[in-house]
Structures are given as structure tokens and as C-alpha cells.
Structure 1
Amino acid sequence: MTRTTPPRPLDVEAVFPELGVLRRGATRLHPRRGVPTVRDSSVGGPLLWPDGEPWPVCAIPHKRGSGYRYSDVVREREILERAWRRDPRFGPNAEEVDELAGFRRGRHAPHLADTDPVPMIAVAQLYRRDVPGLPDIGEGDLLQVFWCGFERHGDSRHDLHVELRWRHSEDVTSPLAEQPAPQVVGRRELVPAPCVLHPEEIVEHPDLMALAPSLRDRIDVWEGPEDDGGPQYLSDASTAPGWKVGGHIAWPLTGPRPLPCSVCGAELGPLLTVDHTEWDPSTRSWIPYEDRGEADSMGANVPTAVSPGRGRLTIAACPRDPHHPLGLVGQ
């Protein structure tokens, strides 16, 4: 099923023409639960990975023996989804509740040393045929995204470690049959549920706080109080919620900051945004037409079950050289 974002409830470029030069194209990915194959663009699905090619691992030193069993996270979701489909009022039965109670955080892999390589989690794969906004860097038509199952990296020791792989899909003639996964993850919300994608091209404008102060002040005056029920630039006309490629970065928590490449100094650009929710109470105007009938159903706006860091993560890449270090923006 396709997904169609309704027209924006306000034409901000008609009122503020200077926003026209700041517009950017973005591709909303619209992940929805499904059974993707290696030949599909997906979140949490099997990757088109060559049999015999080493799987990405995290060897950065950090504690990795305690957390949640990866297999328990997957099993827990299976139980809950089946239970709520069977009984939308009460969910799991007594036997299922007993099994769920055993899925606890603990030291489930005490044999793992801080530097032992652990398989990275397959987060997503995107085919350029499906995602028009995917950049063409001359290294293939397929982007594969991985991260470590622990947020214990970087200077803060609270960041994710993310890796990207580009490849030519036609070169993979013998795909890997069984996808590696870590034994333990730091949080359940770092394990994506299998989703198929329904990409859609849209237009975005910068986050309100990324605009020049004079323009920001004029928009504030023009749109009036937020509680009057009218459309708001920030919620309805700037950045789309949910998973997307390209577009603008939303800065709800920290405000905008420069993102210089650590190697060449070029400003990093948003490649992929991973979001906990597809919509929330303030962004309901972005709900696709096709989802409106079920928009308030349990879990409808959290199909991937992923929530990195504070809930939204933008992976930013160098426009000059894709091999330069990535930038991560958590909001």
C-alpha cells in the first residue's frame, strides 16, 4: 500500500517567499510491519549480504555482557503482538505473562570481554530504485545501515556507533542465509522490528530555530498562539516526523549547531533520520491518508519499535567524501 502525506495546512512560501530557497526534498520511508526479503528496502529485515563476506562487528571497548538477550527481545514482541491481536482488551494470558516475566535485564553474556568483537545490528537497507532521495556516490545502488546494540560510544560514552555499507546489489549472487546478531543489547529499543517501506517524496523547510531571527519572529507573530488550534510552522510545515532520507534536521531539544566534517570541515548533510514515532499529538497533520483510520490503534505510530537515544537520530554524512566520519545528531 502506498502512503500519501496530506497537503500542508498552510502555504508558508506564499506568506514568506524567502522560505522557497530553503526548501529541500526528503523521502519519507513510512516503515510498516511486514515480512521483507533481502531484495526489499526495509527496516529490521534481512540484508542482501554476500555469503562469505565478514559481517560488521563492534570492537570499540565498552561493557557488553549485560543487558537484554537479543532473542528475548524478538520473542517478547512475538508474544505481545499475537496476544493483542487475539484479545485487544486484555492482551497476554496467564501463561504468556509468566513467559514475559522471564525476559529481564541481566548479565547474560559474562564471557564477553570489553573488547570482544560483537555483531552489529542490521538496522535498514535502502535500494535507490525505491528511495529517490538516496544520494548516488558511485559506490552502488544499495545502502545498508548498522549500529552497535549498546549506546556506550563517543566522547560522552552515551552515543551509538553507526556504520554504513554501500554495495552493487547485482554483484550479490549468493546471499547470506542466516544474519548474525549480538547475544545481548543495551536496550530493547535498539532492535528494529521487521518493516517494509512505502517511500514518498515530500518537501520540507528548516526547523524554526534554524531560521534567521528576524524571519523566525515574523513567523511567530503571523501564526499566533499555539493553543488557538491553528496550523503551526514547526509542527505542520517544517520537518516531517518519522523515518526519512534527506530533508532538514529537526532540533527540538538542543537547537541548531554546526556539523563540520572532522576531516575536511565541510558541513555534514542529513542522510537518514531514524525516529521513534511516525507521528505524535503535535504532528498529526503528517499522518498519511491511508493510516488515518487506524492512527489511534495501539502501536500504530511506532511500527519499528526503535528509539535511539532521546528518540530521534539523524545520521549525517560528508558531501565531499562518504568515507569521512559520520555525524550523529540525537534529538
Structure 2
Amino acid sequence: MSRTTPSRPLDVEALFPELANYRGTTTRLHPRPGRPEATDSSVGGPLLWPANEPWPVCTEPHSHARGRRPADIHRQRQILAAVWLREPNPGPTVEERQLLEELGRKHRVQDVAATDPLPLIGLAQLYRRDIADLPAGPDDCDLLQVFWCPFDAHGPTGHSMLLDLRWRRSWEVTEVQTSPPQPLVVGYEGYVPEPCVLHPEQVATYPFAGLLPEDVCARIDAWEEGLEEVAEQLADEATAAPVGYQYDLSIPPGWRVGGFASWHATDPSPMNCRTCAVPMHLLLTIDSTEWDGGSGSWKPLEEQDLPTYQSARPTQVTVGRWGELNIFACPEGPHHSHRWSIQ
């Protein structure tokens, strides 16, 4: 079933005509639980990885001998999803609580050194044929595959994530690796995705307000302040929250490809290629939720009747403190190193 973004509450270009010059597109991926195959674009599904090619591993030295088992994480999620749908008495039984507690335990893997290679988790793969805003890869590559390490133990602080993005030509893969290596334990359950099929949808998008010309940004701020004042004067339980540029009219929430990055948690930061200094473009956004209380206007038409707690977190991926990960790519050199920012 396709997913359809509702029309925006207001025509932002009618309010601010100059925004027409900044309009772009982004492809909402709309991941939903399913059984993807290696030939599908997916989150958490099997990857089209050659049987004769080594699986990506983390080689940075760090402790990875203690954590939760991925199978336990998947099982715990399945149980929780089922018990909260149970009628007429939702919630776990005493026996289920005991099982959930057992599944939540951390385990130690014996004889694992910090310098031992750690298999990365295959997070997602995206085919250009499916994703309108996915740029061309280097050397005619048509498939982007995303991996990450399941431990926050990298970078100068020793507490950052590690990403590994690979491009490949899908038609060259003749034999697929069906049982790739997996980490025995993970440091954070938010790194473990649930298998999801994608329902790509291209929508219009506009830049983060702080990156627009100062006069346009000031007019947007004044307009929003006016709406907030009216809402305060009419405040009652039936009054809907006022429409906002950030959460209703410009940048959609959820997993998406292309478009503009949101900088709602920090000030905008220049993302220039470290190889050629060219300003980088947003490649992929990995979000902890598909929508929330502040961005509910983006909830697909087909899912309007679903409660948020059942439908807003299909991938079960959590970025940082329930944020989003923006990955940037160089438009001049797709093979140049990527950069990223957490919001």
C-alpha cells in the first residue's frame, strides 16, 4: 500500500512568494514492517552483498564484549507490540514481564578483544530506480548500502557513531551472501533495525528557516509569533496548535532522501567536502520517528486512524536522544567521504 502525505495546512508560497525560488524535493521513504528481499530497497532487510566479498567490519579498537543480543531485542519488541494490542486488558502478564526482563539483560562474550574486527549492522539499502531523489553514485553505481557500528565508541570523544556507506552496481552481483556475519551483542538497541519495506513518495520541501535570507526569515518569525499570540488569546482544549514553518510547511519528518537538512537542535553548520571544499548536499536522513506530536500534519492519509505509539516508529531505530541523523554527500565527487550531523 502506498503512503500519501496530506496537503500542507497552508500554501507557504502564497504567504511568502519568494520561497518559490528555494523550493526543492525530498523523497519520504515511509518504511513499514515487512519482509523485504535483497532485490528491494529496505531498512533492516537483507542486503544485495556479494557472497565472495568480505562483510564490512569496524576495525577501530573499542570494547564490544558486553551488550544485548540482537535476537533478544527483536523478540522483546515483538512481545511488547503484541501485549499492548491485546484487548480488553492490554499490557504484559506476570510471566511476560519476567520474560521481558530476561530479554533485556546484557551479556558478556568471552575471548573478545577490543582490537578484534566487529561486523557492522546492515542498516539500509536504496536502489536509484526506487528513490527519485537519490543521486547518481560513482562509476554508474545504482545501489547505496548503509552500515553502522552498534557501539558508541568512536571519534575524538570515544562516544560517537561510526558509519560506512557503500555504493555498488547491482547488476554485477551474481551470488548473494545469505548469512552475513552479525555482532553477537550490541551496545545500544537503537542500532538494531526492524525489517521494513519502503513506500517512497516525493514531496516538496523548503530550506531550514535559519538558512534563508535574513529578511525572509524575519518575516516568517513575525508571522509565527502573530499566530502564537492569537492561539494564546483563544486558548482552550479545542484550539489546535498554530501552524509553523519548521514542523508543518518546510521539512518533513521521518526517513527521507535528498532535500534540506533540519538544524532545529543546533545552529546551522557548514557542511563542506573535506576533499574538495564544495558545499555538500543532504543525501539521507535517518529519523527516530516518522512523526510526533509536533509534526503530526505529515502523518500519511492512509494511517490517520492509527495511534502514534503503534505507527510512528516502524524501524525501531533511535538516533541519539530520539533525534535524526543527516548524512551529506559531495555533489562533485560521490566517492568523497561523507559527513553527518545529529539533530
Partner residue in 2 for 1:203: 204
Partner residue in 2 for 1:89: 89
Partner residue in 1 for 2:119: 119
Three-state SS of the structure 2 residue aligned to 1:79 is: helix
TM-score, normalized by length of structure 2? Answer: 0.91
Q: 2: distance between equivalents of 1:93 and 1:178?
A: 35
Q: 1: distance between equivalents of 2:140 and 2:166?
A: 9
Amino acid at match of 1:202: V
Alpha carbons 1:66, 1:110 under 8 Å: kept: no
Q: 2: distance between equivalents of 1:199 and 1:268?
A: 23
Q: 1: distance between equivalents of 2:43 and 2:201?
A: 15
Q: Deviations over 1:125-161 (max 9, x none)?
A: 1111111111113332211110000122122322211
**Matched length:** 330
Do structure 1's residue 144 and structure 2's residue 145 form an aligned pair?
Answer: yes
Partner residue in 1 for 2:238: none
1:260 to 264, 268, 272: 272
TM-score, normalized by length of structure 1? Answer: 0.94
Alpha carbons 1:241, 1:279 under 8 Å: kept: yes
- % identical aligned pairs: 48
Residue 18 of structure 1 and its aligned partner are, at CA, apart by: 2.0
Partner residue in 2 for 1:307: 318
Three-state SS of the structure 1 residue aligned to 2:243 is: coil
Residue 297 of structure 1 and its aligned partner are, at CA, apart by: 4.9
Three-state SS of the structure 2 residue aligned to 1:185 is: coil
Q: 2: distance between equivalents of 1:230 and 1:98?
A: 44
Alpha carbons 2:76, 2:104 under 8 Å: kept: no
Do structure 1's residue 76 and structure 2's residue 76 form an aligned pair?
Answer: yes
Q: 2: distance between equivalents of 1:238 and 1:160?
A: 28
Q: Which runs of 5+ in 2 are unaligned?
A: 232-240
Q: 1: distance between equivalents of 2:122 and 2:85?
A: 27
Alpha carbons 1:126, 1:144 under 8 Å: kept: yes
Q: 2: distance between equivalents of 1:23 and 1:168?
A: 31
1:230 to 242, 250, 254: 242
Alpha carbons 1:69, 1:108 under 8 Å: kept: no
Q: Deviations over 1:156-193 (max 9, x none)?
A: 32221111111222222221111321111111111011
2:336 to 321, 324, 327: 324
Q: Deviations over 1:7-61 (max 9, x none)?
A: 1112222222221221211000000111111111110011111112110000112
Alpha carbons 2:69, 2:107 under 8 Å: kept: no
Q: 2: distance between equivalents of 1:253 and 1:298?
A: 23
Three-state SS of the structure 2 residue aligned to 1:298 is: helix
Partner residue in 1 for 2:129: 129
Change (3 A) 1:88 1:264: farther
CA RMSD of aligned residues (A): 1.7
Q: 2: distance between equivalents of 1:108 and 1:55?
A: 23
Q: Deviations over 1:97-117 (max 9, x none)?
A: 222111345352242211211
Partner residue in 1 for 2:295: 283
Partner residue in 1 for 2:236: none
Alpha carbons 1:66, 1:105 under 8 Å: kept: no
**Which stretch shows the higher mean deviation, 191-200 or 90-99?**
90-99
Aligned ranges for residues 206-217 of structure 1 at < 5 Å? 206-217=207-218
Partner residue in 1 for 2:67: 67
Change (3 A) 1:231 1:135: same
Three-state SS of the structure 2 residue aligned to 1:163 is: strand
